[in-house]
Amino acid sequence: MQQAQREDEKMHAGQRKSRVLCLMMMLNILICILVGVSLNLGQEKGGSQKIRIPSTKFWSKHTVSKSYWNKEQQRLGFLYNPLIGTVLANDTLSELPDWLNNTSPIGSCEPDYSVTTKISDYNSLPQRFQDFLLNMRCRSYPMVMDQPHVCKGKPFLLLAIKSLTSHFDRRQAIRESWGKAGILANQTVVTVFLLGNSTAVDHFPDLSGMLRHEAKLHRDIVQWDFRDSFFNLTLKDVLFLEWLNKRCPNTKYIFKGDDDVFVNTLRILDFLKGLPRKQASDLFIGDVITNAGPHRDRKLKYFIPESVFVGGYPPYAGGGGFLYSGELGIRLYNISQQVPLYPIDDVYTGMCMKRLGLVPEKHKGFQTFDIEEKYRNNPCIYKGLMLVHSRTPQEMIQIWAWLNNPDIECQ
């Protein structure tokens, strides 16, 4: 009887011990939960982010675009992606373009006939588009005329004007007016005219002898041996940036524009004079166009087919000219190696700016769509402007005379 009682007490003691252990374990678990919640709350109050499980996969399957230019940009994006470091095994993305692999000597670029099979409607595209696409990857062309002396004095402002061989009168009017090289407002201004080769293919007369005489006389012609056409204006831009990097890397500021605009160089110099250092290094101003996209009407000059490009355009400065810093010009040259040529030069520059993480700034002094007709003969209107498009050679000389006439007083 006593033995049974002792065994019963021993059993109850064991049960009590088990219950105590269970309670202690539950209490420990509860304490751990409370401590964890407390730490999380403390981290959130301290500004640290809460750890969350991502709802989507970190690596996603890469989809190659069906549009040719977009596909080319994807390929270059992988080539220059610092996180990946290598291209995909897919052949459509792994082939190096000519200007990157440096296997083609200058002047030996051949048309890339493989594009005829890569673009679904190639055969139905306008001839100018077919020509552009065949030579889109080539950026190596020999120089016909160079002016290595231009920037030896580290000019404050370089005026780089896109022109055609036959535009003798425009170039001379610019030399006699807003593009006159020398000391202006106590700053050194130099001018170069950027030309390609006007060939018989485009029914141009042979003016090469006259152009050589002009270049010898003024020493301001920079020319490359490529076909000088509308779609090759982007190529001219890229070749100029390369020339800038080699010949004028210390130029403070650059205005680049067409030869049918009037530029108030005095106003530009006055604007640049008081720029803070930080603003000056990233300076890029003009008549900025935003929320634009490609035109799909084949009858238009700016027609772009969907087989070549899809998407919207980044902000870009158009209409004949813009102003930017020399420092930014070198950065634009470097980044242009990562952006395939695009047939519209203004848009291409906007693409390069976006690649740099920059946005061009709109300035009301750039009147690229002209001013109201009633003000066009008012000398005082031009004093506050930087650029007006377009003006004839005679009008350029007249407006410049107005700006330099001390007898004309403006309120």
Query: Higher model confidence: residue 31 or residue 191?
Result: 191
Domains of the chain: 68-134 (no CATH), 143-403 (3.90.550.50)
- Say if residues 397 and 177 touch (Cβ distance below 8 Å): yes
Q: Which of 245, 236, 190, 222 is nearest to 346 (CA)?
A: 236
Strands 143-145 and 221-227: antiparallel
Q: Tell me, what amino acid is at 350?
A: G
Quote the radius of gyration of the chain (alpha carbons, Å). Answer: 33
Confidence category of residue 88, pLDDT binned at 50, 70, 90 = very low
At 44 the three-state DSSP class reads: helix
Secondary-structure percent of the chain, ordered helix, strand, coil, rounded to 5: 45, 15, 40
Report the pLDDT value the prediction gives residue 101, as an integer from 0 to 100.
47
pLDDT tens digits along 227-261 = 999 999 999 999 999 999 999 999 999 999 999 99
Strand partners, 235: none
Q: What predicted TM-score, i.e. pTM, was given to this entire model?
A: 0.82
Confidence category of residue 93, pLDDT binned at 50, 70, 90 = very low
As a three-state string, the secondary structure of 265-296 is: HHHHHHHHHCCCHHHHHCCEEEEEECCCCCEC
